[in-house]
Amino acid sequence: MNRLRTVCLLLALLTGCASAPPPLSEEPNPFALPAGSPSNVRIGFVQGFPLTSPSVPVLLLPGTLVQDKMTVVTRDPRLNPTAILEITALQGRIAVARIIRGQPQPRDEVVLPSAELSERAQALLP
């Protein structure tokens, strides 16, 4: 019985002394939405392309479903719209999109537009 008591005491000490791991420090997310902002479904990111090109490649996130003629909006890390795009071709996880308005930059986030984001994107130059 004494041995069982010792084992229980050791287990209690070991589990009682264990502390929770410190919370992971979260890196600031440049695409995090400010409180109260509308959420837009992220579908991918603009990849590198010649800035004079009328089309851009978009790397789609896994599980993203898009189709030809779908209109999407790109936005910068401050969540400002940079371009309106129309999907013209799909090849695996790469979509080719024609620039309708604005000028996207490599690594811009590509989202499905909300009404507010679409309205703000319409102010971009053609």
Q: What is the pLDDT along the chain (126 residues), one digit of tens a residue?
A: 577 777 666 666 666 554 555 555 556 666 665 665 557 899 999 998 888 889 999 999 999 999 999 999 999 999 999 999 999 999 999 999 999 999 999 999 999 998 888 899 999 988
The answer to whether residue 18 is domain-embedded is: no
Which residues span the domain enclosing 50?
A: 43-126
The answer to whether residue 25 is domain-embedded is: no
Q: How many domains does the chain have?
A: 1
pLDDT of amino acid 52: 86
Report the 10 Å Cβ neighbour count for 118: 15
pLDDT of amino acid 37: 57
pLDDT of amino acid 49: 87
pLDDT of amino acid 89: 96
Separation CA 63–CA 120 (nearest Å):
28
pLDDT of amino acid 76: 94
The answer to whether residue 71 is domain-embedded is: yes
The answer to whether residue 118 is domain-embedded is: yes
**Cross-strand partners of 94:** 59, 91
Separation CA 39–CA 17 (nearest Å):
42
What is the domain-level CATH number for residue 82? 2.40.10.170
